[in-house]
């Protein structure tokens, strides 16, 4: 099983990022709101085709807070449709403190290629590293969503406090 370790920088503190990450992962797992039908995706260009769109694979995600490590979530997902035909992933997503007001989002784990030998042939020769590219896109999307969620909360907090001071 190929192993993967990815990280992305966030411009938000680790505790706020971790809270947002947990909420986002739960929303994906429960298929709530804008996360209903969440899918991993790769562009046609990554498949060595004309880059005029993308392929999306809806996933079924399970998430659990890791009891041993702070700001860490154990995740597992596979395709919501035809799981035997697409790679599955088992690993963790975590947030580590960085510089003041910053943090790092980590995705680490292993993905299991489907169809044993044929799956390895597809991943290695015909569609090199497509599973890894879809996980790169996944962490990018989650990082952007964490950032946006925290930014939105801070804006609402500031708006509430500004409004209450100007009307009171």
**Lowest mean per-residue pLDDT among 29-33, 55-59, 84-88:** 84-88
Which pTM was predicted? Answer: 0.83
Going from N- to C-terminal start, the domains of the chain cover 3-167
> Of the CATH numbers 3.40.50.300, 3.30.1330.10, 1.10.1660.10, 3.30.530.20, which one belongs to the domain with range 3-167?
3.30.530.20
Greater model confidence, 154 or 21: 21
Arithmetic mean of pLDDT, 95-102: 95
Token duo for residue 156: 């609402």
Please write the tens of the pLDDT for every residue from 105-127: 999 999 876 644 434 434 444 45
Residue 87's pLDDT band (boundaries 50, 70, 90)? Answer: confident
Token duo for residue 70: 């702070």
Pick from 137, 140, 132, 96: which is nearest to 113 by CA?
Answer: 132
Check whether 53 has a pLDDT greater than 70: yes
Token duo for residue 141: 């999307």
The pLDDT value recorded for residue 94 is 98
Arithmetic mean of pLDDT, 73-97: 89
CA-based torsion, 135, 40, 75, 117: positive or negative: negative
| Residue 132 CB coordination number (10 Å) | 16
Residue 51's pLDDT band (boundaries 50, 70, 90)? Answer: confident
Check whether 85 has a pLDDT greater than 80: no
Contacts for 33 with CB less than 8 Å, ≥ 6 apart: 27
Give helix then strand counts, H and E, for the chain: 3, 6
């Amino acid at each position: 099983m190929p192993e993967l370790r990815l990280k992305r920088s966030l411009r938000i503190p680790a505790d706020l990022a971790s809270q947002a990450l947990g909420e986002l992962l739960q929303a994906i797992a429960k298929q709530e709101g804008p996360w209903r039908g969440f899918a991993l995706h790769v562009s046609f260009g990554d498949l060595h085709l004309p880059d005029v769109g993308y392929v999306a694979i809806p996933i079924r995600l399970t998430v659990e807070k890791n009891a041993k490590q702070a700001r860490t979530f154990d995740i597992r997902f596979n395709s919501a449709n035809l799981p035997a035909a697409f790679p599955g992933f088992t690993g963790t997503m975590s947030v580590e403190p960085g510089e003041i007001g910053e943090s790092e989002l980590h995705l680490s784990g292993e993905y299991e290629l489907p169809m044993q030998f044929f799956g390895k042939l597809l991943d290695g020769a015909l569609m090199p590293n497509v599973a890894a590219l879809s996980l790169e896109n996944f962490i990018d999307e989650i990082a952007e969503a964490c950032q946006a969620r925290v930014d939105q909360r801070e804006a609402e907090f500031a708006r509430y406090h500004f409004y209450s001071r100007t009307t009171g």
